[in-house]
Amino acid sequence: MTDRLSGVLTFVQAVEAGSFALAAQRMGLSRSAIGKSISRLEERLGTRLFQRTTRRQSLTDDGQAFYERCVRALAELEAAEAALDSGRRAPTGRLRVSMPVLFGRHCAAPLLWELTREHPGLEVEISFSDRVVDLIEDGFDLAVRVGPLDDHAGLTARRLGVQEMVVCASPAYVAKHGSPKTLDDLKHHEGIVYGRNGFTKAWWFPDGQGGMRHVSVPSRLRLDDLETIADAAVQGAGLAWVPCWLIGERLRKKQLTLVLQDVPRYGNEIFAVWPQNKHLPSKVRTAIDVLAARIPGRLSAVHR
């Protein structure tokens, strides 16, 4: 029975991946193992499930019909497992999470690492990427996203907080060049700006009327890493516009100081998103609850 179910899972993965090679990569198997599993399934069923050529593979009519039934059956099994799991006190199993590189490293990942210490039956696998992944296609249980959710069809979201952007500089820079008081003052200062592939990102500020004002700051230093921008600001290279959580420790050590404190700050909402599911597994629910409870405290490293 186990072999039969394994063959069905491999078949569904091969269909949804679009190729045996990609299915093998997702399942941590060799392409040969995928092919043999499909061949055994076809032999047992007495029919061909795939039409194979040197360039592509496609489902036969029998394969399409079998795939649709398999998906429904697996969904029922998953729902049954989730329903049982939702009644457990402790989360167990493997939790796959996607999150942005820098925010994840500083704010979100440490919270999930702590979960593995609290729950010995839980395994956490984190993928750090600034790419917006397809949770269902890429097999993730949960994702942390910074910024608007442009398209989250089939997903559920929970707001975790707001990432505020602040302008800062080293005490040495302020002593030498003064501190800007208004946005118009920025044109008289040197900025360390985010730039990639010839594109330079302007600094955004609420205009007080429901809109946004984009400010281009004079700069001779363009970097594509926010951590390095903060480090350059510590060295006195200019003003930096960075997330508040990134510089909390640098502020406490007086390596940086805030400027433009009376100017409204631009903020990006942060969300936890996960595939819609009638029965949310306890491992996912626990992770979401921990992130929602503790992320705001990490975002408030800078207070007005």
Residue 153 pLDDT exceeds 80: no
Residue 227 pLDDT exceeds 60: yes
19, 58 contact by CB (below 8 A): no
Report how far residue 115's alpha carbon sits from residue 122's, in angstroms, rounded to the nearest whole number.
8
Is domain 2-85 classified as CATH 3.30.365.10? no
Report how far apart, in Å, the C-alpha atoms of 173 and of each of 27, 108, 248, 256 are.
Answer: 53, 32, 18, 9
Q: What is the pLDDT of residues 275-295, one digit of tens each?
A: 887 678 889 999 999 999 999
Report how far residue 142's alpha carbon sits from residue 134's, in angstroms, rounded to the nearest whole number.
10
Evaluate whether 94-159+270-299 and 163-267 have a shared fold: yes
Residue 241 pLDDT exceeds 80: yes
% pLDDT > 70, the chain: 91
A 10 A CB-CB count for 213 gives 16
Residue 203 makes CB contacts below 8 A (sequence gap 6+) with 165, 167, 186, 191, 193, 214, 215, 216, 217, 241, 266
Q: How confident is the model at residue 301 (pLDDT cuts 50, 70, 90)?
A: low
Residue 303 pLDDT exceeds 50: no
Q: How many angstroms from the chain centroid is the CA of residue 135?
A: 10
Residue 217 makes CB contacts below 8 A (sequence gap 6+) with 186, 187, 189, 190, 191, 193, 203, 239, 241
Element of type H or E holding 113: helix 109-118
pLDDT of 18: 81
Whole-model pTM?
0.68
A 10 A CB-CB count for 266 gives 18
Q: What is the pLDDT of residues 52-99, one digit of tens each?
A: 766 677 889 898 899 888 888 887 777 666 666 555 567 888 999 999
* Domain ranges for the chain: 2-85, 94-159+270-299, 163-267
Q: Report the candidate in 294, 275, 278, 44 with the shortest Cα–Cα distance to residue 137.
A: 275
Q: How confident is the model at residue 304 (pLDDT cuts 50, 70, 90)?
A: very low
Query: Would you identify the CATH topology of the domain 163-267?
Result: D-Maltodextrin-Binding Protein; domain 2 (3.40.190)
Q: What is the pLDDT of residues 242-275, one digit of tens each?
A: 999 999 999 999 999 999 999 999 999 999 999 8
pLDDT of 184: 94
A 10 A CB-CB count for 295 gives 22
Is domain 94-159+270-299 classified as CATH 3.40.190.10? yes
Tokens of 28: 């941590």
Enumerate the β-bridge partners of residue 103.
none
Place of tokens 């007495």: 46
Tokens of 292: 């929602």
